[in-house]
Structure 1
């Protein structure tokens, strides 16, 4: 039984000595191995998805609301080049909807072209996730 105590004391002294003595610089092969292991771990380990900034979300919702109001205003009035203004506003609105969908994690509808159907689906998906504008 005494040899177990001696062994534990010896191991404890070795740990303390290892902590107190300066460590030798890593050799070249250890550095290469470390870099390759880190590179492999970076490829295998999924990268964390950053949470969207709440102020960026609010800015996007405000801009969507502003553009929706502008579209309603242009549709309700008679003006020169109404169709061109409406097309430009709808294109900007569609771009903002795409950005909002990416931010909210909505899957993209690859088979749908830009238009009323895609816009309606994206608005419904965003509304179901609590977005309002």
Structure 2
């Protein structure tokens, strides 16, 4: 009986909507394993691009610190440091390194200790810049 009305609705052009999946708490165990496996791995070229950008920005920071007679050096250092911190947050997200909640806000600079910890975590995971 249910098949007839589905066929009739399909003939008219009405599509059936699949039922909503159950929440994860009621999902079978195989579903959560399959779902974890179905997530695509991170793109290696995106990681390489972030590494190259980190290398460029860190070289620019070293050049700013080594040249004592740059006009408006302070504002340039602040802007470059903010760019470096943003790239570092992106790299941590790609590598799976935990960051603090306020580190995801663009424009805020990290403390030196937190920046060093994240850099060391990335180095232990094979990142180099």
Do both share a fold (TM > 0.5)? yes
Gap change, CA 1:127 and 1:25, over 3 Å in 2: farther
Over 3 Å counting, the alpha-carbon distance change for 1:41 and 1:117 in structure 2 is same
More helix by share: 1
What secondary structure is seen at the aligned counterpart in 2 of 1:40?
coil
1:121 to 117, 124, 128: 117
1:40 is aligned to 21
Q: What is the TM-score of this pair, normalised by structure 1?
A: 0.67
Whether 1:57 aligns to 2:47 is yes
Instruction: Tell me by how many angstroms 1:66 deviates.
Output: 0.6
Match of 1:109 in 2: 100
Structure 2 Cα separation of the partners of residues 25 and 76 of structure 1: 80
Question: Which residue in 2 is equivalent to 1:15?
Answer: none
In structure 1, the partner of 2:12 is none
Mapped pair 1:95 → 2:86 = yes
1:26–1:70 distance in 2 versus 1, CA, 3 Å:
farther
Larger radius of gyration: 1
Aligned to 1:121, the other structure's residue is in SS state helix
**Alignment CA distance shift 1:80-1:25 (3 Å):** farther
Measure how far apart 1:25 and its partner are: 7.1
State the Cα distance separating 1:115 from its structure 2 match: 2.2
Give unpaired runs (5+ residues) of structure 1.
1-23
Instruction: State the secondary structure of the residue aligned to 2:47.
Output: helix
* Count of residue pairs the alignment pairs up: 104
1:124, distance to aligned residue in structure 2 (A): 0.7
Q: 1:100 to 1:77 in 2, by over 3 A?
A: same
Structure 1 residue 110, shift from structure 2 partner: 3.7
TM-aligned CA deviation for residue 50 of structure 1: 2.1
